[in-house]
Structure 1
Amino acid sequence: MKSIKVLIAGGGIGGLALAVALRERGISAEVFERAKGFGNTGSGIELTPNGVKSVDRISPRLGEAVRSTGWSSDRHAADMPIMSWDGKLLKSREVGNFPAKWGAPMIGILRADLHRILAEAVHRPGPAPVTVHHQATVMAASSAGDTATVRLADGRTVTGDLVVGADGVRSTMRSLVAGEVPPRYLGFTSIRGISKRPAQHGDGFVFVGPGGHFFAEAFDDTRLFWTATVNAPEHSWPAKPVERAKADLLELWGEWSAPLPETVASCALEDMVVTDVHDCPPLKRWHTGRLALLGDAAHPIGPVLGQGANMALEDVASLACLLTEHDVPAALRHYGRIRSQRANKIVQHSRLIARLGHTTNPLVGRLRDALIKSMKRREETYRDKELFSYSP
């Protein structure tokens, strides 16, 4: 195969994971990251079996590092309860049997730890060179013949064989590949934090209630990360000082069942992050010429199904393998077809679940709870079969 160089816009989880995957397969890469360095990048990530299998496909060594750092469901057998806001058990997620049933465990890991593992993997010696440029914002990209070019904010241009946009929800590359497809606000804000593991349900738990959803999962022996999604006008919660956001969340959900209030209360202010949640309509194309999209740039997704990082890792494993099997144009054709079908379906499903999960209508809320309870004894739900059984 002809030696190629891939230019990657964005040094988040998707961008760095792609650089690792390419380097492992003898393909050189340059990563252009707008930030000065890699610092604290949020709270935590639930890597579900499809995401863990994707990590293993990217690099077995990377899979080992993720398992040794995060909190893996195959090391503890406690089920994860899904409860109504007043503490009634609706369903239990039987996470202990995930490796036997789906081929990989569920792993709770801090986003910053996963980012650090990827950054360390990028800088290890390997079959092909990888360079990471910081304070390097990609302003534009173009494709002509068998060459692709990026133009940086400082005026420099860099050429390669392919440009991959892994530049997030507000992607610059998306408009170049798919036209103007702005993110759409989903109607709720995400408040994320890190807290002490409570005595009750310390491995993790989920609450559903009027106008919101709360998810918590352990990532080590003493702490867990959590995400609360709250119905709100756009920009309202991110504009608050973090101490006000914490106080408002406790006031809003302080009457919800234990251990939710104590989990929020034990979160240090420096460990809280507040952001509005967006997705975007399914894209008609994921590549044009030698420009392609990956992760949130291609399919931003709400946190309800916990698939944002997992879908990006699936993209990475798929694209890296295809680039070793085909020339660039053929690899992109296969990538766009294979990944868009799966990702677009999951984005649409997540949006529907978000509407149901964040309802303030009491009747619809009772229907939602009844639907969750009805899945209690089913061997396979949509989430399990469609999400977890996937192997890249």
Structure 2
Amino acid sequence: MKSIKVLIAGGGIGGLALAVALRERGISAEVFERAKSFGNTGSGVELTPNGVKSVDRISPRLGSAVRAAGWSSDLHADDMPIMSWDGKLLKSREVGNFPAKWGAPMIGILRAELHRLLVEAVHRPGPTPVTVHHQAAVVAASTSGDTASVRLADGRTVTGDLVVGADGVRSTLRSVVTGDVQPRYLGFTSVRGISKRPAQHGDGFVFVGPGGHFFAEACDESRLFWTATINAPEHSWPAKPAEQARADLLELWGGWSAPLSETVASCDLEDLVVTDVHDCPPLKRWHTGRLVLLGDAAHPIGPVLGQGANMALEDVASLACLLAENDVPAALRMYGRVRSQRANKIVQHSRLLARLGHTTNPLVGMVRDALIKSMKRREDTYRDKELFSYSP
């Protein structure tokens, strides 16, 4: 196969991971990132077995670095409890057996740390060049014959053999590939933070309750990251100063069982991130000509299943391997067919679970809790079998 150059719009987890994966396979890449520099990019990421296996496929060296930097489920002293808002145990996640059962552990890692590892991998000296451009927002893209190009906000045009849109939920390239498909608000906002490990359930825990969901996962010996999803009008919580958001969360859910309030109270304000949550209707196509989408640009997904970053890493491993083994048109056809089927199914399932998980109806809440309890008697739930058994 002749050498190709790939242009990547977006320097988040998906964009940088793709640059690493391509370089590992002798394919050059240029990454265009709108931000001035890579800074604090949020709280943490739960890499489930499918995501960890994808990282290993992207780069074994990167896989080793992620394991060293994060907190593996092998290190959990106890199973992870899933509880009702008043502290009743609904189910325990048996995370210690993940490597034996699914071929890889679950790893909790700070998003900024994962991003740092990807930046280091991109800039590591090697024969295949990767260039990262900052303050380089992609505002348009086009494809013609065997070439594709991006136009930057400063007016420059850059041409390559393939353009990849890894530019997030509000992707510029999505409109080029699929037309006007706008993100849709899911009805809840996400408050994320990093805190000291609480005295109880320090390895991590999950709460479900009226109008919300709280997830916490260890990321090192002393800290955990957490995500609270709260029913709210769009734009209301992101408009709040961090101090008010933390105080309002404590007031809203302060009566929930320990250690939720202890965890929220110990979060420094600079580690608090608030964003509304969106997804998109399943896309009819993921590529046109030599323009292709991955990650949130192709399939924005709510946090209920914890699969946003994991799906992006699956996309990366699949696309990079296909490009290394096929010409560009054939690789894109196979990528779109294989990845869209899996990702669209997970987006739809996550949306259904979000509606059930954020209900304020007491009767529906009782049904939800009963369903979670019933999983104790099922060896392979949807989450486990369909998500974790996947290998790129």
Residue 7 in structure 1 maps to residue 4 in structure 2: no
Note the 1:296-335 alignment, pairs <5 A.
Answer: 296-335=296-335
Q: Which residue of 1 aligns with 2:360?
A: 360
After superposition, give the CA deviation of every residue in 1:76-119 in whole Å (9 maximum; x if it has no partner).
34200000000000000000000000000000000000000000
Counterpart AA for 2:388: F
Partners in 1 of 2:176 and 2:205 — Cα distance?
A: 41
Write the distance in 2 (CA, Å) between the matches of 1:127 and 1:60.
18
Q: 3-state SS of the aligned residue for 1:207? A: strand
Counterparts of 2:76 and 2:275, CA distance in 1: 32
Residues 184, 280 of structure 2: 8 Å contact kept = yes
Deviations, residues 364-387 of structure 1 (Å, cap 9, x unaligned): 000000000000121100000000
Q: Distance in 2 between matches of 1:361 and 1:156?
A: 54
For 2:219 and 2:149, locate their aligned partners in 1 and report how far apart those are by CA, in whole Å.
Answer: 40
SS of the residue 1:376 aligns to: helix
Correspondence for 1:134:
134
8 A Cα contact 1:170 1:183, kept in partner: yes
Question: Could you say which residue in structure 1 is the equivalent of 2:124?
Answer: 124
The separation in 1 between residues aligned to 2:129 and 2:49, in whole angstroms, is: 30
Partner residue of 1:289?
Answer: 289
Contact kept? 1:194, 1:271, Cα under 8 Å: yes
**Where does structure 1 differ by over 4 angstroms across 4 or more consecutive aligned residues?**
none
| 2:77 and 2:203 in contact (8 A); partners too | no
Q: Which residue of 1 aligns with 2:241?
A: 241
Aligned to 1:272: 272
AA partner of residue 134 (structure 1): H
Q: Encode CA deviations 1:341-380: one digit per residue, 9 max, x unaligned.
A: 0000000000000000000000000000000000012110
What CA distance in whole angstroms lies between the structure 2 residues aligned with 1:376 and 1:272? 34
Aligned to 1:384: 384
Does 2:190 align with 1:169? no
- Match of residue 182 from structure 2: 182
Q: Is 2:101 the counterpart of 1:114?
A: no
Name the residue aligned to 2:35. 35
Please say if 1:95 is aligned against 2:101. no
Return the alpha-carbon distance in structure 2 between the equivalents of residues 44 and 277 of structure 1. 16
SS state at 1:217 partner: strand
CA distance in 2, matches of 1:76, 1:92: 13
Q: Find the aligned partners of 1:204 and 1:224 in 2 and give their Cα distance.
A: 7
Whole-angstrom distance in 1 between the partners of 2:274 and 2:123: 31
- Asked whether the equivalents of residues 183 and 279 of structure 2 are also in contact (C-alpha less than 8 Å), the reply is yes
Cα distance per residue 1:6-39 (max 9 Å; x no partner): 0000000000000000000000000000000000
Q: Is the 8 A contact 1:14 1:294 kept in 2?
A: yes
Amino acid at match of 1:199: A
Aligned residues: 392
Q: Give the partner amino acid of 2:23.
A: R
Q: Which residue of 2 aligns with 1:68?
A: 68
Partner of 2:82: 82
Letter in 2 for 1:375: M
Any conservation in 2 of the 1:356–1:364 contact (CA below 8 Å)?
A: yes
Q: C-alpha distance in 1, partners of 2:78/2:105?
A: 13
Q: Shift of residue 126 of structure 1? A: 2.5
Question: Does the Cα contact within 8 Å between 2:188 and 2:276 map onto a contact in 1?
Answer: yes
Q: Is the 8 A contact 1:24 1:126 kept in 2?
A: no
Inter-partner Cα distance in structure 1 for 2:283 and 2:45: 25
Say whether the 8 Å CA contact 1:85–1:256 is kept in structure 2.
Answer: yes
Q: How far apart, in 2, do the equivalents of 1:366 and 1:342 lie? A: 30
Quote the Cα distance in structure 1 between the aligned partners of 2:125 and 2:57. 19
Q: Work out the CA distance in 2 between the residues paired with 1:113 and 1:222.
A: 15
Code of the residue aligned with 1:232 in structure 2: it is A
Distance 2:149 2:375 in 1: 50
| Match status 1:350 vs 2:370 | no
Question: How many Å separate the matches in 2 of 1:78 and 1:288?
Answer: 48
Tell me the secondary structure at the aligned position of residue 375 of structure 1: helix
Q: Do the aligned residues in 2 keep the contact of 1:25 with 1:127 (CA within 8 Å)?
A: no
Residue in 1 aligned with 2:220? 220
CA-CA distance at 1:75 after TM superposition: 2.5
Q: Is the 8 A contact 1:79 1:94 kept in 2?
A: yes
1:271 is displaced (CA, Å) by 0.7
What is the percentage of aligned positions where both structures have the same residue? 89
CA contact (8 A) 1:149 1:157 kept: yes
Counterpart contact for 2:79–2:95, Cα < 8 Å: yes
TM-score (norm 1): 0.99
Structure 2 gap ranges (5+): none
Instruction: Work out the CA distance in 2 between the residues paired with 1:212 and 1:149.
Output: 43
